[in-house]
């Protein structure tokens, strides 16, 4: 029998119970990304089936968006370099990034998010924060929970798109 999903394995060490669902979602996403995308070829990673975003984009976006959201959670603004990196998430690169590299980057960002969940002082959960150039209002708690929700959303897209791409037989 395979291992149960992360949320059924019990509490994660050092994570406050208020963040346990988010932490479990991040752990599950990390494991799912590895299973779904690790064996894709470079061509499979970057194909856009039916015009949908590529698996490579979703992996890069998980890493980039997680770091951006953590920046906002710390009360910092994005640098111009971070803003410009958003457009590059869609690009394969030269040479195109492979699955090992993209998964490693996504999983490293997820680990940084788990570290942030463990380190956030409870007294700061509802400290106001803002997101983007429009300074949309939120708070630390909302941002940290959104990291998990957003990561799960794109992980689901990785899983589905990887299945579609495998069916195309691009090898």
Task: Give 111-126 pLDDT, tens digit per residue.
Answer: 999 999 999 999 999 9
pLDDT computed for residue 37 by the predictor: 98
Q: Is the peptide bond before 64 cis (omega within 30 degrees of 0)?
A: no
Sequence-separated (6 or more) residues with CB below 8 Å from residue 112: 66, 67, 70
- Chain segment 9-26, per-residue pLDDT in tens: 999 999 999 999 999 999
pLDDT higher than 70, residue 75: yes
Q: Which architecture, in CATH terms, is 16-168?
A: Up-down Bundle (1.20)
Mean pLDDT within 31-48: 97
Residue that is written with structure tokens 């470079």 in the block: 42
**For the whole model, what pTM was predicted?**
0.94
What are the tokens at 16? Answer: 């406050």
- The rounded distance, in Å, linking the Cα atoms of 34 and 18 is 27
Which SS3 state, helix, strand or coil, does residue 130 take?
strand
Q: Could you read off the pLDDT of 111-167 as tens digits, one per residue? A: 999 999 999 999 999 999 999 999 999 999 999 999 999 999 999 999 999 999 999
Give start and end residues of each alpha helix (H) in 99-139: 99-119
Q: Please, which pLDDT band fits residue 87 given cuts at 50, 70 and 90?
A: confident
Angle between helices 20-37 and 140-168 (to 10 degrees): 20
Which is nearest to 142 in space by CA: 123, 127, 152? Answer: 127
- Domain locations along the chain: 16-168
Closest CA to 169 of 7, 33, 8, 41: 41
Residue 89 phi/psi, 5-degree rounding, is: -60, -25
The DSSP H or E segment spanning 88 is helix 80-88
Residue 31, judged by CB atoms within 10 A of its CB (0-12, 13-18, 19+), counts as middle
* CA-based torsion, 53, 54, 56, 62: positive or negative: positive
Contact (CB, 8 A) for 147 and 26: yes
Residue 1 has pLDDT above 70, yes or no: no
């Amino acid at each position: 029998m395979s291992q149960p999903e992360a949320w059924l394995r019990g509490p994660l060490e050092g994570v406050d119970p208020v963040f346990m669902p988010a932490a479990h979602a991040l752990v599950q996403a990390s494991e799912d990304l590895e299973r779904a995308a690790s064996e894709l070829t470079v061509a499979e990673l970057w194909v856009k089936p039916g015009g949908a975003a590529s698996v490579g984009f979703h992996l890069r976006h998980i890493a980039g968006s997680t770091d951006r959201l953590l920046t906002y959670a710390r009360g910092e603004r994005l640098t111009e370099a971070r803003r410009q990196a958003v457009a590059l998430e869609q690009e394969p690169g030269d040479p195109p990034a492979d699955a090992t590299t993209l998964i490693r980057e996504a999983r490293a960002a997820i680990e940084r998010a788990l570290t942030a969940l463990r380190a956030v002082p409870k007294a700061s959960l509802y400290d106001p924060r803002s997101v983007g150039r429009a300074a949309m209002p939120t708070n630390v708690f909302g941002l940290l929970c959104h990291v998990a929700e957003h990561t799960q959303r794109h992980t689901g897209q990785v899983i589905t798109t990887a299945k579609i791409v495998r069916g195309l037989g691009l090898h």
